[in-house]
Structure 1
């Protein structure tokens, strides 16, 4: 008989690409969920050859094998939340949406619409943008675009918080339960994220961290958010903890590499008090 120890819970299935540099993608996702006392499982969508200076190669995983990873994990281990990251092409996006609908119809999904690496390398085929909008975004519990991603998905130019809110409302109309508009690309000493839902707008603001350790911030925030949802916490609380985790990870970054460096995923954020 298998031995079962105690675990705080929060099984998160992460469907995303691998980052050989360890700062973003699957590697960042696993570290984040583990640091927040969840349990990470994965379906890897692509292998990348990258470091802090950029992405130098991408090797997509066959769609059927990505689906097999998802099905085997969900049918045996299960998940309280799913997080998607780098997805690649329309066929893969459609297959993921179909597989989740069949095997995890009621599981919260955090969709991080990864389109471009920090150094500018495209990670989503332009032909896949429509598939993302019509198949996966409507399935999202939370959509977490940064400003450039939100501009592409909404068709709007974003230069202010008012623009962010308008774009967020446009994206909300695509069908997700909530949209977390990340404001890090806007100028200013304060970074403000907007949570856009049918009930209204919530603001999350903090002073900007002056650092080059920004690689993987989007992946990390989305995984931290998914972990909070998997552990049963309300969306605003899960966002607040995720933001605190990312902020501390930036502040205590190890300083590796000569480009956009990795954060310190290994720090511990105080878990929610029971």
Structure 2
């Protein structure tokens, strides 16, 4: 029997299980990884409404990370919502202390699908931007959608932002929020290469937490040994399966036999 790789997700808890930790775990398990999890926030939400968010204390997050690394060999981590860039930077430093070759996939969730703003208090501050710059130097892949990449640098155009980020790390730009060519994703590597991943399925409907599913699917495929491009391609195809699984806002995950 082939041993499954351990994959850690550091994200928020969504009671509807469409997004956050539980969506990540379902994705990881369906793709034959073993999901470990650390909770950054307890949210009051369902698939259409987001009321509030209770952030986990940074010391609790660190302790959870440390005890998992004491027990399991973890080489790949997916990170979702975190209170702010400063806290995220501290979490990443703990990860790197535990494994200095760890590959981190960051899904920079700035706003929920129901329009709750996670970063309204500090996104535009100089300190926040400085922390974000440090973070880019430490992660393996950033997976923003078009709404998110527009908010990362207020003084840059999208193309300038793409060039800046790709100069520091790999960038997978999700196309679900594009004004044109919806669903066309783009991978920009730190080596200067660019790839276009076009949508394949037609019977796709919007899903709560689709960005969480995609980033965790990419992370799982990386952990399974696929190259960055193949991991992104396979992650996109898996996400499309979830998006086409039914007509509701909550997708189904099918376990592969």
Q: What SS is found at the alignment partner of 1:206?
A: coil
Aligned to 2:135: 136
CA contact (8 A) 1:154 1:171 kept: no
In 2, Cα distance between equivalents of 1:189 and 1:202: 15
Q: 1:228 to 1:147 in 2, by over 3 A?
A: same
Query: Residues 77-92 of structure 1 correspond to what in structure 2 (within 5 A)?
Result: 77-92=72-87
1:226 partnered with 2:219: yes
Aligned to 1:97: 92
In 2, Cα distance between equivalents of 1:12 and 1:135: 23
Aligned to 1:170: 164
CA contact (8 A) 1:63 1:91 kept: no
1:117 partnered with 2:117: no
- State the Cα deviation string for residues 61-86 of structure 1 (Å, max 9, x = none): 11000001111111211212011100
In 1, Cα distance between equivalents of 2:228 and 2:59: 32
Q: How many residues align?
A: 251
Aligned-residue offset at 1:187: 2.8
Aligned to 2:175: 183
Q: TM-score, normalised by structure 2?
A: 0.90
CA contact (8 A) 1:16 1:84 kept: yes
* Structure 1 residue ranges without an equivalent (≥5): 1-5, 256-260
CA contact (8 A) 2:205 2:247 kept: no
Aligned to 1:252: 245
In 2, Cα distance between equivalents of 1:131 and 1:247: 35
1:42 partnered with 2:37: yes
* Structure 2 residue ranges without an equivalent (≥5): none
Aligned-residue offset at 1:141: 0.8
- State the Cα deviation string for residues 115-153 of structure 1 (Å, max 9, x = none): 100011012354264265133222111110111111122
Aligned-residue offset at 1:190: 4.7
CA contact (8 A) 1:86 1:113 kept: yes
- State the Cα deviation string for residues 87-131 of structure 1 (Å, max 9, x = none): 112442132022012112101110111110001101235426426
Query: Residues 189-204 of structure 1 correspond to what in structure 2 (within 5 A)?
Result: 190-197=182-189, 198-204=191-197
- State the Cα deviation string for residues 16-67 of structure 1 (Å, max 9, x = none): 1111111000010000000000010011100001011221121111100000
Aligned-residue offset at 1:168: 1.8
Q: 1:224 to 1:187 in 2, by over 3 A?
A: same
Q: What SS is found at the alignment partner of 1:183?
A: coil
Q: 1:31 to 1:187 in 2, by over 3 A?
A: same
In 2, Cα distance between equivalents of 1:182 and 1:32: 18
Q: TM-score, normalised by structure 1?
A: 0.85
1:71 partnered with 2:70: no
Match of 1:262 among 239, 250, 256: 250
Q: 1:21 to 1:209 in 2, by over 3 A?
A: farther
CA contact (8 A) 2:86 2:131 kept: no
Q: What SS is found at the alignment partner of 2:137?
A: helix
CA contact (8 A) 1:17 1:47 kept: yes
In 1, Cα distance between equivalents of 2:140 and 2:89: 17
